[in-house]
Amino acid sequence: MKQLKYFIGILFAAVITSCSYLDVVPDNVATLDNAFSDRFTAEKYLTTCYSYLPNFGDSWNSPTFLGGDECWYPDRLWYNNGFSLARGEQNVTSPRFDFWGGHNSGQPLFIGIRTCNIFLENIDKVKDLPDFEKLKWKAEVNFLKAYYHFYLVRMYGPIPIQDVSLPVYASTEQIHVQRDPLDSCFNYIVHTIDKAMPDLPMEIEQPSTEMGRITRPIAAAIKARVLITAASPLFNGNPDYSSVVAKDGTHLFPTEYDPGKWEKAAAACKEAIDMAEGAGFHLIGPDDLESQKQHEDSIEMKLVLRSRVTQRWNPEIIWSSTSGIAHGLQSEATPRLYPAIYNPVAARLAPTLRIAEQYYSKNGVPIDEDKDYDYSGRYNLRMGDPDHKYFIALGEKTVSLHFDREYRFYADLAFDRSLWTANGKYEDDNDSWIIKNRKGEYSSIFEVSQYSTTGYWPKKLVHLQNEIKNGSWYYITDYAFPVMRLADLYLYYAEALNEVNGPGAEVYDYIDRIRNRAGLDGVVQSWADHSRNPEEPLSRSGLRKIIHRERLIEMAFEGDRFWDLRRWKEAQQYMNKAINGWDVYKFDPKEYYRLKPLFVQSFSVRDYLWPIPENELVLNPNMVQNPGW
């Protein structure tokens, strides 16, 4: 943690310092000469380049937590940008999460790109910087520049590529840029990452000062994500965008589907996997846990699965960005575990009932397909029993939906009468926190903006070492929020291989690596033994559906669902339905476990892409708006 705080500190210092020579007089020669006068000032500028990374682990400053259908907030927090995005309040005059201009919780990524260009154009002036370090810093900044382009492309589609910084004396023609075609954008991003990779280290060489800096496995993994995005239905011959052209008549989106893009994506995924595994990355398991105390198998499985995100710099996490420290996020993801506890638990980040239902049964298939699961009776009340004593409080009532589910369900979610292991209770496997969330109970509504409006919490996001101090204070152990895990790459690779060749042994292998770690049988066996659709894994379309479901489960609450539903063009399928939860204002179980609609979402074709801010269109007559806006 010491190295993490150090890097955050220099980032913070750089942001403060940068306004004097970036935002005010960015092309003043004397100021730039000073910025690159020696290694110390140049490194401050390098950290400024990093400072534009999005706040991945911040529910208030990232669109992914509350901007879709995964989590919900109390109505009192309607002004949160993500929550308003989920409620259909996006607009062109003042867009939510405006990463184009840097407003409404959005980072100004074009300024970030410009900062990177200035760095690359001036770093050779530094006289006391060794050549090997200069090459590494250039590679880091080239990667950051590529990543900022990618983040914008994923949001807006085609953007103007900014490979050099414009001088203050730039002509009107130079300033009034057009959007470059989408394929040109993706090609530029991949080329820039490829240019950076040879000079990036395989691993962090000075952990005490450089944790969070870019490595070659990070670059390879993000290149895979870029090419997966380019190959996906939203951007690969999407007919909804076939008529979108620039002012000069150039088609901005590819008009035909290109299967070769999936081949490139598969190759990039395999390259990234081989590189990551060669560098020592692997799926986290029991031997990797920070605490080596012996636990009952079910408890140990839950602890391993919770640690895949929250255990700092664990062997599965390829990239954790220091721009996304999960402090406030953990407060929002934690229910009150004890009657006296309040500060600083906000307890309001609430997974929707839709997410609780997406996890598999204990047999490793969807609950609505499991021939042994009582799907129609899932909302009936049931008493906690010895078979579920490590998941649900004995003798307490909850719904059948919470029984006979896979381990990830219990590791990732907390709910009324569920058991919460660790966080101060490690010694006795039979002594866990009990969530009591009915009206008037200690986990229930404390204040109108601090409660779970659905009756669920994303336990997956809470570090195991957080604990109650003095009976009233919840001590939070921070971690850098993951941007890419090895599990993410495995599922990307399975997805790409299936699109290229259909089902096969290698596809199953990479899916099953994730399933086996979660205590499930392989996908073919599980469907053959338990599903009403046993042939589903044997066809390309059926396996595609399974891979999508596997990603939605494994990567839940990490931001992937928000982007995956868009790139698959499946957001309309999910986000034109009611957001449901339990009636958390009731005490009697029969009333509490009554389905309560919280909001009916509306998502149309235009919502797949962000609107370009209206002011940008006024200032630049060569800019064209996204469809529907």
Least confident of 216-230, 328-342, 350-364, 500-514: 328-342
Distance CA 308, CA 487 (A): 9
Q: Give tens-digit pLDDT for 460-480.
A: 999 999 988 776 667 889 999
**Neighbouring residues of 546: CB distance < 8 A, sequence distance ≥ 6:** 511, 523, 527, 536, 537
Containing H/E element for 596? strand 595-600
Provide the pLDDT confidence category of residue 96 given band limits of 50, 70 and 90: very high
Q: What pLDDT was estimated at residue 22? A: 27
Taken in order of first residue, the domains within the chain and their CATH numbers are: 2-62+97-281 (1.25.40.890)
DSSP states of 55-102: -TT-TTT-HHHHSSSSEE--GGGTTSHHHHHHTT---SSS-TTBTTTT
Output the pLDDT for position 393.
97
Give how far the C-alpha of residue 60 lies from the chain's centroid of Cα atoms, to the nearest Å: 14
Query: Which whole number is the average pLDDT over 407-426?
Result: 94
- Structure-model confidence comparison of residues 239 and 172, the more confident one: 239
Q: What is the pLDDT of residues 557-590, one digit of tens each?
A: 999 999 999 999 999 999 999 999 999 999 999 9
- The CA distance from 81 to 75, in Å, is 13
Question: How far is it, in rounded angstroms, from Cα 455 to Cα 443?
Answer: 10
Measured CA to CA, the distance from residue 329 to residue 56 in angstroms comes to 10
SS3 473: strand
* Cβ neighbours around 555 below 10 Å, total: 20
Provide mean pLDDT across the span 294-317: 93
Residues paired with 595 in a beta bridge: 582
CA distances (Å), origin 546, targets 276, 358, 450, 560: 25, 12, 36, 16
Average pLDDT of span 64-81: 96
What average pLDDT does this structure show over 114-140? 96
Q: Is 23 exposed, middle or buried (0-12, 13-18, 19+ CB in 10 A)?
A: exposed
Range of weakest confidence among 57-71, 129-143, 282-296: 282-296
pLDDT band at 404; cut points 50, 70, 90: very high
Angle at 598 between CA 592 and CA 599, to 5 degrees: 165
Residue 82 has pLDDT above 90, yes or no: yes
Whole-number average pLDDT of the chain: 92
Q: How far apart are CA 89 and CA 100, in angstroms?
A: 18
Contact at 8 Å (CB) between 470 and 431? no
pLDDT of amino acid 30: 57
Report the pLDDT value the prediction gives residue 26, as an integer from 0 to 100: 41
- 462, 337 contact by CB (below 8 A): no
**pTM of the predicted protein model:** 0.94
Residue with tokens 């990479």: 510
Here the tokens at position 145 are: 């520049």
What gap in Å lies between CA 415 and CA 430, rounded to an integer?
18
The pLDDT of 95-102, averaged and rounded, is 97
What average pLDDT does the segment 293-319 reach?
Answer: 93
pLDDT at residue 342, as a whole number: 57
Average confidence (pLDDT) over 214-234: 98
Per-residue pLDDT at 402:
98
Q: Which residues of 294-321 are buried (b: 16+ CB within 10 A; e: fewer)?
A: ebeebbbbbbbbbbbbbbbbbbbbbbbb
CA quadruple 161, 165, 171, 176: dihedral positive or negative? Answer: positive
Q: Is the pLDDT of residue 12 over 80?
A: no
CA–CA distances in Å: residue 470 to residues 434, 474, 475, 548, 593: 19, 9, 10, 44, 34
Task: Tell me how far apart the alpha carbons of residues 418 and 398 are, in angstroms, rounded to a whole number.
Answer: 9
What are the pLDDT digits (tens) for 189-211?
Answer: 999 999 999 999 999 888 777 88
Q: What is the pLDDT of residue 374?
A: 98
> Does 264 score more than 80 pLDDT?
yes
Calculate the alpha carbon distances from 151 to 98, 247, 287 in Å: 12, 24, 35
Can you give the pLDDT at residue 292?
73
**DSSP-assigned beta bridge partners for residue 613:** none
Q: Which amino acid is at 610?
A: W
Q: Is the pLDDT of residue 10 over 70?
A: no
pLDDT at position 8: 35
Confidence of residue 240 (pLDDT cuts 50, 70, 90): very high
For 17-45, how does the pLDDT look when each residue is reduced to its tens digit (9 = 90+)? 333 222 333 444 457 878 899 999 999 99
Q: What residues form DSSP beta bridges with 425? A: 422
**What value does the mean pLDDT take over residues 61-77?**
97
Helix axes 540-554, 523-530, angle to 10 degrees: 100
The answer to whether residue 287 scores a pLDDT higher than 80 is: yes
